[in-house]
Structure 1
């Protein structure tokens, strides 16, 4: 597990994949900052955008899909409407059928990370909702390897 201070010092350059999100008025809570549940929504969205665009995931037809089995978030500063969020994505660990993502949320035009989250997905068979004995597909693994940070090259 990465330490709190190390996460708090993350920069955009720590993330190989970035995606923008324009905040909405409805993202704010009664304290005028983005509601905690929206962070998870955004983290899930950047992961699935990457999987669809770069890992051959077809949400309607792929034989496997990623099921979130763990999520966690550290908050450092708030963001609120009408800010534009910049979401950074990287892979910290790839297993046989699992992947550990790190996601950072930045505010466009502002230095310093606002939050850093972790999602762990297990790729399961669509028919059984159980991990496939062969693990994740080759295209998925190769796509994830492209944004892996600090991992030895995969022996595909």
Structure 2
């Protein structure tokens, strides 16, 4: 995936959901900044927090659950312990069985974005581990639509338009 050229200019107002995270001593690596793996941990955490609190996802029992299809991150400047990170979330694309999230990490009191990541989830049936033939269930979809920044085509139109690829088709 190519970098999102506009992501370096993102501000908090570009996102619809946020969480605060107090960095820990163990988040820093030997280069005295937050380790790259911690960014992925935080991005995954804000997404799952939103899915659980606002979309009705119950990870141990939900009939559908998300599988990670891809992830990437653009790093712009470091954050270190003991700073407070502000994680911001939006949905850039919502397809029949998949969703493309964008997560930004800001430092409390600093306007410039520190990093912007992209996560792609494919929602699958718990029993088959395949995308559900009916797509993302309505409760999940309604919650995700609240974060959508650019309206996506309806699930039925994405099936008829090959230019609107759905990562679930690769499974």
The root-mean-square deviation of aligned C-alpha atoms, in Å, is 1.6
Q: TM-score, normalised by structure 2?
A: 0.87
CA contact (8 A) 2:3 2:74 kept: no
Number of residue pairs aligned between Structure 1 and Structure 2: 155
Q: Distance in 1 between the 2:82 and 2:70 partners?
A: 30
CA contact (8 A) 2:105 2:116 kept: yes
CA contact (8 A) 1:145 1:154 kept: no
Q: 1:5: how far off?
A: 4.0
Q: Distance in 1 between the 2:146 and 2:109 partners?
A: 27
Q: Distance in 2 between the 1:125 and 1:95 partners?
A: 16
CA contact (8 A) 1:51 1:140 kept: yes
Q: Distance in 2 between the 1:4 and 1:68 partners?
A: 19
Q: Distance in 1 between the 2:40 and 2:134 partners?
A: 29
Q: 1:2 to 1:109 in 2, by over 3 A?
A: farther
Tell which deviates more after alignment, 8-17 or 143-152: 143-152
| Corresponding residue number in structure 1 for 2:164 | none
**Structure 2 residue 158 is matched with structure 1 residue 145:** no
| Corresponding residue number in structure 2 for 1:109 | 109
Q: 1:60: how far off?
A: 1.1
Q: TM-score, normalised by structure 1?
A: 0.95
Correspondence list, 1:31-70, <5 A: 31-70=31-70
Q: 1:4: how far off?
A: 4.4
